[in-house]
Amino acid sequence: MNWHKDTLEIPSHGKGMYAFTDAVNARIQAWGIREGMCFLYIQHTSASLCISESYDPSAQDDLEIFLDRLAPERQPWHRHTMEGPDDSPSHMRAILTDTDLTIPIDEGKLNLGIWQGIYLFEHRTRPHRRKVLIRCIQTA
């Protein structure tokens, strides 16, 4: 078994879902991995990872509105507001989604379902550069 590692930098410009499936597959291809496991880890608490439907953009729109409604800004009980009204809700949205993803690699790429895409879910209003650690075990 071989081991590969790198860090992806993903720019975000406000709340929403940013696809980066292609960036992961590009690394897998560059490393010559045919089969194995891919581990993704985001080093942030106000942005997160998620796998969802990549075909119809209206699915993503609905997911973004959904999280906005589930963890809305400017609630009277919020105490963690030091960095603004989007601060505390960003942590709430992050713990509901994923900090890490573990995905099988087959035939030289992530073995996703036909409609699946990998997303960075940005929960802050301002632009950021987000760091996602990528680690791969190569079995073939």
Residues engaged in binding a second copy (CB under 8 A): 1, 3, 5, 35, 37, 39, 41-46, 50-53, 56, 58-59, 61-63, 65-66, 70-71, 77-80, 82, 87-88, 91-92, 94-104, 111-116, 131, 133, 135, 137, 139
- Minimum distance, C-beta of residue 103 to a second copy, in the bound complex (Å): 6
CA dihedral for 77, 80, 82, 86, sign (positive or negative): negative
- Minimum distance, C-beta of residue 64 to a second copy, in the bound complex (Å): 11
Residue 47: CB partners within 8 Å, gap ≥ 6? 12, 90, 94, 120, 121, 122, 123, 124, 128, 130
Q: Which is nearer to a second copy, 9 or 113 (CB)?
A: 113
Q: Which is nearer to a second copy, 23 or 96 (CB)?
A: 96
Residue 65: CB partners within 8 Å, gap ≥ 6? none
Please state, in angstroms and as integers, the Cα–Cα distance from residue 55 to each residue in 60, 69, 111, 116, 118, following that order: 9, 23, 16, 8, 12
- Minimum distance, C-beta of residue 128 to a second copy, in the bound complex (Å): 12
- Minimum distance, C-beta of residue 48 to a second copy, in the bound complex (Å): 10
